[in-house]
Amino acid sequence: MSTPIATLPTATPVVVTDADASDEQLIALWLHGRSAHTVRAYRRDAELLRAFVGGRPLRSITLGDLQAFADTLTGEGSSRGRHLASVKSLLSFASKLGALPFNVGAALRKPAARDTLADRILTEDDTAKMLALTEGSEHVLIRLLYAGGFRVSEIVALRWEHLSDAPNGAMFVTVHGKGDKTRTVRISTKTANLVRALRGDAPPTAFVFPGRAKNGSTSAVQAWRIVRAAAKRAGIEKHVSPHFLRHSHASHAIERGAKVTTVRDTLGHSSIAVTDKYAHARPGESSGDVLAV
């Protein structure tokens, strides 16, 4: 019978020496504290791998198994890379806990992904059309996604207590984002006034964008549908998602002269290198400009 993984105080390093510790326990520990969206995606990837190896324990998986698993994945390089990144993360975590003899996933190469960032940036005209053709709370939701460069998970979780007045009628919006990090973003007076107009007599703990369920918020799926419908009304053929507005915020802000460091802090990027991609996604000039063709 396997020995359960002990639960220790967070200040004490956790070391699993029992090689028979169940994969279910390891996966639960690996997923602990992640967002609901991440948990669903990561668990699905872990189950894909476990199904591929016929339910064998993680500690028995070889590099050959991982490479064969990688060969079965289909789709764009970025999609396959995400599946493999999840698997590598799980195996790395299990290795650090001592449940695996070594991290076999470290040697697995992820496929090269085509850089599609430029394809996911809307023009300022398209963004303006989406806003002009949308009304009420849906207009404010889209506007806030774009104006603050927020993730959809951050927007749907917003409560009125997370908003506060800023100088000159602007507003501070505090969100709890990726990596368990909290950041505060200032939005303009014009956008802030539209947000304030939604409140009515809602208490501080109420969601800014309430959903259909009592005391619930608009779901990420519903927010996606709102954005997609707005894009269709604007005549945009791409499968626009809320994240397009975040990408567009970064690109448009840099093109209008915002410092890369300011955009980094607004979007909550982990490093300046992530934000700097937007400075090169849609170049304003090319060496080809000086050619005679």
Radius of gyration of the chain (CA): 23
Residue 9 has pLDDT above 60, yes or no: no
Residue 11 has pLDDT above 70, yes or no: no
pLDDT digits (tens, 9 = 90+) for 57-100: 999 999 999 999 999 987 777 778 888 999 999 999 999 988 88
**What architecture does CATH give domain 118-282?**
Orthogonal Bundle (1.10)
284 confidence band (pLDDT: 50, 70, 90) = low
Residue 118 has pLDDT above 70, yes or no: yes
User: What is the average pLDDT value for the chain, to the nearest integer?
Assistant: 85
| pLDDT value for 14 | 43
**What architecture does CATH give domain 23-107?**
Orthogonal Bundle (1.10)
Compute the average pLDDT of residues 136-145: 96
**By percentage, how much of the chain surpasses pLDDT 90?**
54
Burial of 106 from C-beta contacts in 10 A (0-12 / 13-18 / 19+): exposed
1 confidence band (pLDDT: 50, 70, 90) = very low
113 confidence band (pLDDT: 50, 70, 90) = low
Ordered by start, the domain boundaries in the chain are 23-107, 118-282
b/e string for 145-167 if b means 16 or more Cβ within 10 A? bbbbbbbbbbbbbbebebbeebe
pLDDT digits (tens, 9 = 90+) for 186-232: 999 999 999 999 999 999 999 999 987 777 899 999 999 999 999 99
pLDDT digits (tens, 9 = 90+) for 15-51: 443 444 588 999 999 999 887 878 888 999 999 999 9
142 confidence band (pLDDT: 50, 70, 90) = very high
| pLDDT value for 51 | 92
| pLDDT value for 87 | 93
Residue 168 has pLDDT above 60, yes or no: yes
Least confident range of 95-99, 113-117, 180-184, 252-256? 113-117
Distance (Å, rounded) from C-alpha 230 to C-alpha 62? Answer: 48
Distance (Å, rounded) from C-alpha 209 to C-alpha 198? Answer: 9
Long-range CB contacts (within 8 A, 24+) of 264-268: 265/183, 266/148, 266/149, 266/183, 266/185, 267/149, 268/175, 268/177, 268/178, 268/181, 268/183
Between residues 7 and 96, which one has the greater pLDDT? 96
- Positions marked catalytic: 151, 178, 243, 246, 269, 278
Least confident range of 64-68, 118-122, 147-151, 216-220? 118-122
Whole-structure pTM value: 0.66
